[in-house]
Structures are given as C-alpha cells and as structure tokens.
C-alpha cells in the first residue's frame, strides 16, 4: 500500500507540475524574446536622434555605442546600408519600416528591429538593430533549466510528503493486519490500536467489537463444557449410588429408590436447562429465571444433600422463618448455586454445614457455612481455574456460581474465612 500511495501521489504531482511547467516554459520563451525585441527597439530609437536631415545629402552619421552583441545600421530609402553594421541590403524589416512603421523579424538566426527615421512628414531612412538569437536562446535555456530544477525540487518534496502520508495511512492498517494475525494465532486479547484517521478508527472499533464478541462467545462455549461436566457429575453420582444401594439390598422398597431417582432426573433436567441458559444468554440482556418460593428450594436441597453429608458423618442444619420461606426467588438459578455451595462445603469444608436464610427487607441473604477454613481470599476464590487451594478442586464451581448469581441480578461473596461462610444476596421485587 505504501508504494501505491507514493505512486499515486507522484503521478498527481507530476501531472500538476507538467500542467504548470509547460505554460511557464512558453511564457519564459515569449518574455525573453519580447524583452530582447524591446531592447533592440530602444537602441534603434536612441540612434534615430543621431540622424538629421543632412543624411539625405550624404553626410556621415555617428551611431551610439553597441550594447553587447547588438549591431546598429543606417539604411537609406533604397534599403542600402549607409553606416554602421548590417547586411548591405536591408531586407524585409527595413522595407516595411520605410513604409512608416516599426518592423520586427527573425531571419537566419538573428533578431531584427527596424525603426524609420523621419524628417518632417517624410521617411528619410531606417535604423536597423539586430542581435544573435542564440544569446536569447541561451537565457531561455537557463530559465528552462531553473524551471526544471524547481519542478524537480517540488517533485522531491512531493515524494517526501507522499512517503510520510503513505506511512501515516498504512501504519494503522498494518497494525490492524498484525492484530488480525495475532487473533488468528489464538490471542483473543489482541486489539487494534487507535490512529489519527477517522475512517481507519471506525474500522478498528468495528474490528475490536467483533473480536470482543467472538471472544465472549468462545469463552461461553469453553465454559459450557466445563460447567455441564461440573454440574452433572454430582447428581449422576447420587442417582447411581442410590440405585446401586437399592439393588444391593433386597429388602429395600424399589418404589422409594425409583422415586428418588425420578427426583434426581428432574433435577438433572433443570440443571441442563440452567447451564444451557447461561451459555446462550447475552450478558447485556439476561433472560429472567422462573420464580419459586425459597423455602421449597431449601427443602429440596436438604433432601439432596442430607444423605451425602451423612455418609461422611457430617450434619446439615437449616434455619429460616416460615414467612420468609414463602418469598419468591429465581428458582433454577438459586437451586444451582445452592448445589455448588453445598458441594464445595462437602468437598473442601469440615464439620456441620449450616444453611441460614435472612430477610434484609429489599433482599434475602442466604448463608452457607461450615466449620472449615477457606484457603483463598475473597478476591481469588471466585477466579475460574483457581480452585479452593486444597489441590482437589477444579476451580469451576464457585466461578460458575458467581456467574449464575450475576446473571440473575444476585450477588455472591465470601463473607467468612474461619469458619468458611458464603452469602448469596437475592433481590426481592416490590410485589414480594
């Protein structure tokens, strides 16, 4: 692109200089020859005053001194040279001057001006002034050389300006191309820099917006697989263990095991829907989740996790007021966040797990606490891939829980380190 911009600029400058230089060259030639004719006429006019009426009777004439290569000659009415320098026969210019006017011609490489000499009202002779045309052409050529030098200087300046403009135009595009190559190589953090050219900045902004959206979509796609794997593993494991326990004990009522498996399958279905919703929802326009009484969600969570914790000799306790339990919250989202927090307490906590619901007026505070100690601070524990510091976590669950909460307009934070306590703030609408 640089070479093309320079080439276009040079062609435009060359055309402009050509359109300017040709008329100037013609004007230089015309001006120099016109000036020389004017000088010759002045020389001839100055010599006219030296010719008196006695010239017709044969008296000699004293002509003024010569100017450079100019020559002066006096001719009679028969166009014959009587004094000075010049051809013996005056030629066409002298004959035209004898008719009573100033005559000019350029015969045989000379410039000639003939001025009539009058006495009374009668022409008695002609002053012929001449010079070599090559001296004028020399000045003309020097003028053309100066004009050519100025044109070359202007063309050189045009080259410098064109190269700078080409660099100014192509540098942002080259940077944009490098950014695109970096993105093609997998660096989705690369962004096109701003320049001083409005049109290129518009392209860069559109490019950056496109890359940002693509990066967000790719991140959602990558997270979807990890989220689905994380959220489906625990319910599937619980369903499998329940069915295996029912098969191993012949005295167990199969209807109870099937009912529990059916409930687990419904929970799996809700989990899949929630993970898909999170993966496909635009963050700028979240889809509202269906509302359910918070007490029903807590009781369902207790049924799912009471046995899991009891197998490890741990207890699950819950506490809330009955009136508070009737308030509605985003059902599936809260259900998933509860599963993540209880699973985190099961895997990385210790002792009794306590679930408490508090009414804050405009929001509900849902606390999930255990008797363990958080190994990471509140700023790091929700980073995806960070884990809980025990070496057994994948660092997906808490990050997913915070994403689910933010998508539903809620807030999730670590509010206690020893013992560990997570608090989920669920906003309530005015009707609630």
Q: Are residues 275 and 361 in the same domain?
A: no
Q: Are residues 60 and 138 in the same domain?
A: yes
Sign of the CA dihedral with 284 first, then 290, 295, and 299 last: negative
The answer on pLDDT for 318 being more than 60 is yes
In which domain, by residue range, is 53 found?
2-150
CA distance 160 to 200: 22
CA distance 33 to 36: 5
Q: How many domains does the chain have?
A: 3
Q: Are residues 91 and 34 in the same domain?
A: yes
C-alpha angle 313/319/324, rounded to 5°?
150
Is 232:226 a contact under the CB 8 Å cutoff? no
Q: Are residues 146 and 9 in the same domain?
A: yes
- Residue 432 maps to a domain: no
Question: Which one of 128, 150, 172 terminates a domain?
Answer: 150
Q: Are residues 127 and 7 in the same domain?
A: yes
CA distance 74 to 115: 10
- Residue 388 maps to a domain: yes
Percent of the residues in the chain that have a pLDDT greater than 70, as a whole number:
80
Q: Are residues 23 and 137 in the same domain?
A: yes
**Who's near 377: CB < 8 A, 6+ residues apart?**
414, 417
Question: Which one of 150, 185, 210 terminates a domain?
Answer: 150
- Residue 363 maps to a domain: yes
- Residue 180 maps to a domain: no
* CB count in 10 Å sphere of residue 130: 26
CA distance 25 to 36: 17
- Residue 67 maps to a domain: yes
- Residue 163 maps to a domain: no
Q: Are residues 101 and 137 in the same domain?
A: yes
Of 23-37, 133-147, 344-358, 376-390, the least confident? 376-390
Q: Are residues 273 and 332 in the same domain?
A: no
Is 9:161 a contact under the CB 8 Å cutoff? yes
Q: Are residues 393 and 296 in the same domain?
A: yes
What pLDDT digit, counting tens, does each position of 73-129 carry? 888 888 888 778 888 888 888 888 888 888 888 887 888 888 888 877 788 888 888
Q: Which structure tokens are listed for 138?
A: 């020399």
What pLDDT digit, counting tens, does each position of 391-428 carry? 444 567 788 888 888 877 889 988 888 888 999 998 87
List the CATH number of the domain containing 40.
3.30.450.20
What pLDDT digit, counting tens, does each position of 199-212 carry? 888 888 898 898 88
Q: Are residues 336 and 255 in the same domain?
A: no
Q: Are residues 268 and 389 in the same domain?
A: no
Distances (CA, A) of 277 to 118, 220, 288, 361, 404: 115, 11, 10, 29, 10
Q: Are residues 125 and 10 in the same domain?
A: yes
The model's pTM is 0.48
Question: Which one of 150, 171, 186 terminates a domain?
Answer: 150
Which residue has better confidence, 429 or 284? 429
List the CATH number of the domain containing 357.
3.30.565.10
- Residue 398 maps to a domain: yes
- Among residues 166, 179, 174, 173, the alpha carbon closest in space to that of 203 is found at 173
- Residue 243 maps to a domain: yes
Mean pLDDT of the chain: 80
CA distance 402 to 406: 6
Is 28:140 a contact under the CB 8 Å cutoff? yes
Say what the pLDDT of residue 432 is. Answer: 45
The answer on pLDDT for 167 being more than 50 is yes
The answer on pLDDT for 2 being more than 50 is yes
């Amino acid at each position: 692109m640089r070479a093309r911009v320079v080439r276009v600029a040079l062609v435009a400058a060359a055309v402009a200089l050509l359109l300017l230089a040709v008329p100037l060259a013609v004007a230089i030639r015309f001006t120099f020859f016109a000036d020389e004719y004017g000088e010759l006429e002045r020389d001839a006019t100055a010599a006219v005053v030296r010719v008196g009426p006695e010239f017709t009777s044969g008296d000699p004439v004293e002509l003024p001194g010569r100017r450079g290569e100019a020559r002066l000659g006096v001719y009679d009415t028969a166009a014959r040279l009587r004094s000075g320098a010049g051809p013996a026969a005056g030629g066409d210019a002298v004959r035209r001057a004898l008719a009573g006017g100033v005559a000019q011609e350029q015969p045989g490489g000379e410039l000639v001006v003939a001025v009539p000499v009058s006495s009374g009202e009668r022409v008695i002779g002609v002053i012929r002034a001449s010079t070599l045309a090559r001296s004028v052409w020399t000045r003309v050529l020097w003028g053309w050389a100066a004009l050519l030098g100025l044109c070359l200087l202007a063309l050189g300046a045009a080259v410098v300006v064109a190269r700078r403009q080409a660099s100014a135009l192509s540098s942002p595009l080259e940077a944009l191309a490098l950014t695109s190559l970096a993105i093609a190589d997998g660096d989705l953090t690369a962004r096109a820099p701003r320049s001083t050219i409005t049109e290129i900045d518009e392209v860069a902004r559109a490019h950056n917006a496109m890359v940002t959206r693509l990066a967000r979509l790719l991140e959602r796609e990558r997270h979807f697989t990890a989220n689905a794997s994380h959220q489906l593993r625990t319910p599937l494991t619980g369903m499998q263990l329940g069915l295996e326990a029912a098969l191993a004990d012949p005295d167990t009522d199969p209807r109870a095991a099937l009912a529990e498996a059916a409930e687990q399958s419904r929970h799996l279905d809700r989990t899949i829907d929630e993970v898909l919703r999170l993966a496909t929802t635009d963050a700028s326009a979240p889809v509202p989740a269906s509302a359910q009484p918070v007490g029903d969600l807590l009781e369902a969570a207790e049924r799912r996790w009471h046995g899991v914790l009891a197998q490890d000799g741990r207890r699950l306790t819950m506490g809330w007021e009955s009136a508070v339990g009737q308030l509605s919250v985003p059902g599936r989202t809260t259900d998933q966040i509860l599963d993540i927090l209880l699973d985190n307490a099961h895997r990385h906590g210790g002792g009794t797990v306590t679930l408490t619901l508090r009414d804050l007026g405009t929001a509900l505070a849902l606390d999930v606490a255990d008797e363990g100690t958080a190994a990471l601070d509140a700023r790091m524990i929700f980073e995806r891939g960070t884990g809980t510091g025990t070496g057994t976590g994948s660092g997906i669950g808490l990050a997913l829980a915070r994403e689910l909460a933010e998508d539903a307009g809620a807030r999730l934070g670590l509010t206690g380190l020893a013992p560990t306590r997570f608090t989920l703030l669920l906003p309530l609408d005015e009707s609630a």
